[in-house]
Amino acid sequence: MTDRVPYLTSRLQGFGTTIFAEMSALASRTGAVNLGQGFPDYEGPPEVLDAAVAAIRDGHNQYPPGRGVPALREAIARHQQRFWGLAYDPDTEILVTAGATEAIAAACLALCEPGDEVVVLEPTYDSYQASIAMAGARPVFVRLEPPGYRLDAAALAAAVTPRTRLLLINSPHNPTGTVLDRDELAAVADVAVEHDLVVVTDEVYEHLVFDGAEHVPLAALPGMRDRTVTISSGGKTFNTTGWKIGWVCAPPALVTAVTTAKQFLTYVNGGPFQPAIAAGLGLPDAYFRDLAAGLATQRDLLCAGLESAGFGVFRPQGTYFVTVDIRPLRADGDGMAFCRELPERCGVVAVPNQVFYADPATGRHLVRFSFAKRPAVLEEAVARLGKLVP
């Protein structure tokens, strides 16, 4: 926990400035290669960029409809059918949001009573805990343990209590890069069905999966279509993280509930970006294949460099991120100190994984690097990290 912040409500104490802001500021101050925050340093497909420019020029600059422009909702429905075989009605079962982040916040605010429990995977993407806290609910953690970072079905079942309101799942998982397999997803489904729970699933990395691993949407499992709130966004799929176009796919009653909260958070956002993301979702299969193949190459490059620098590398199956154990390079295993020193020592920025754990001691020796960078930038980072070898 950080120091008490004046004026800030007790619900939000401890959620001070994020480590990403601190580390990105450190990167720009020192000129270090920023492998901390997860955003690509390359542009999205020209079709998508051109569609945004055209939308601005064509006057799509006022409030879009509350649930999103029809062209985007229809494109999301076609995408869910084409890639995952899931049918959603664009009018009643799809909601466009200000990124996945708003969708998660709106889902927690809409679906949780104060005092409810939300079961989440740990390490936990940072906005989840804040969203749960803003809803007055409480996280209950199910830990993915290194080296495999797999989901323990018994631990998941044991986390459910009479107060459990939601399961909040994330696959492909940030920061570990785990892609939950069919058995793990079946374990989630079993628990959800047995306890009649709604599941919120964050699938923003749905297209960033490597080595023949398969992304299976939770909603595709038997019994899950009608109890799952699927969240994704265009940021990672089209290299447009600054556009913040996300979405929710769920049965009508759940979409209506989430919309009720969402409409008073932002109401709407990104008018001209919505048709542009619609254009992206309609790109040919080759676009999505090439995106994953490019990232897999970048992952290989960075993982090889981290291995030769001496880190213990947990090779990810998906996402933008690789987690390493720093203890071979720093015996005290202090990841926070390591990340604060790294720009001075070798001109690279990373993020300490302790920020993804309720008890920072659990992730103290772990550090996350992003490989969503051009190969030349990763090669430079690897060369710099090579200087750490004693």
To the nearest whole angstrom, how small is the minimum distance from the Cβ of residue 265 to ligand PLP? 12
Per CB under 6 A, 230 contacts ligand PLP: no
Pick the closer one to ligand PLP by CB: 18 or 164. Answer: 18
Give the per-residue SS3 of the chain.
CCCCCCCCCHHHCCCCCCHHHHHHHHHHHHCCEECCCCCCCCCCCHHHHHHHHHHHHCCCCCCCCCCCCHHHHHHHHHHHHHHHCCCCCCCCCEEEEEHHHHHHHHHHHHHCCCCCEEEEEECCCHHHHHHHHHCCCEEEEEECECCCCECCHHHHHHHCCCCEEEEEEECCCCCCCCCCCHHHHHHHHHHHHHCCCEEEEECCCCCCECCCCCCCCHHHCCCCCCCEEEEEECCCCCCCCCCCEEEEECCHHHHHHHHHHHCCCCCCCCCCHHHHHHHHHCCCHHHHHHHHHHHHHHHHHHHHHHHHHCCEEECCCECCEEEEECCCCCCCCCHHHHHHHHHHHHCEECEEHHHHCCCHHHHCCEEEEECCCCHHHHHHHHHHHHHHCC
Residue closest to ligand PLP, measured at CB: 99
Per CB under 6 A, 229 contacts ligand PLP: no
Pick the closer one to ligand PLP by CB: 233 or 313. Answer: 233
Pick the closer one to ligand PLP by CB: 40 or 343. Answer: 40
Candidate list 36, 99, 251, 275; residue touching ligand PLP; CB under 6 A: 99
Give the per-residue SS3 of 47-95.
HHHHHHHHHHHCCCCCCCCCCCCHHHHHHHHHHHHHHHCCCCCCCCCEE
To the nearest whole angstrom, how small is the minimum distance from the Cβ of residue 310 to ligand PLP? 27
Number of residues that bind ligand PLP (CB under 6 A): 14
Pick the closer one to ligand PLP by CB: 100 or 142. Answer: 100
Per CB under 6 A, 203 contacts ligand PLP: no
Per CB under 6 A, 140 contacts ligand PLP: no
Per CB under 6 A, 269 contacts ligand PLP: no
Pick the closer one to ligand PLP by CB: 233 or 353. Answer: 233
* Helices 126-134 and 99-111: angle between axes, nearest 10 degrees: 30
Instruction: Specify the stretch interacting with ligand PLP by CB under 6 A; choose among 65-73, 96-104, 287-295, 378-386.
Output: 96-104
Per CB under 6 A, 323 contacts ligand PLP: no
Give the residue carrying structure tokens 């869910």.
80
Instruction: Specify the stretch interacting with ligand PLP by CB under 6 A; choose among 48-56, 80-88, 99-107, 142-150.
Output: 99-107
Per CB under 6 A, 251 contacts ligand PLP: no
- State whether the Cα torsion 88-93-96-99 is positive or negative: negative
To the nearest whole angstrom, how small is the minimum distance from the Cβ of residue 245 to ligand PLP? 7
Per CB under 6 A, 233 contacts ligand PLP: yes
Candidate list 76, 100, 108, 292; residue touching ligand PLP; CB under 6 A: 100
Per CB under 6 A, 370 contacts ligand PLP: no
To the nearest whole angstrom, how small is the minimum distance from the Cβ of residue 356 to ligand PLP? 10
Pick the closer one to ligand PLP by CB: 101 or 353. Answer: 101
Per CB under 6 A, 280 contacts ligand PLP: no
Per CB under 6 A, 316 contacts ligand PLP: no
To the nearest whole angstrom, how small is the minimum distance from the Cβ of residue 96 to ligand PLP? 11
Residues 115-134 that bind ligand PLP (CB under 6 A): 125
* Residues forming the site for ligand PLP (CB under 6 A): 38, 99-101, 125, 170, 174, 202, 204, 233, 235, 241, 244, 246
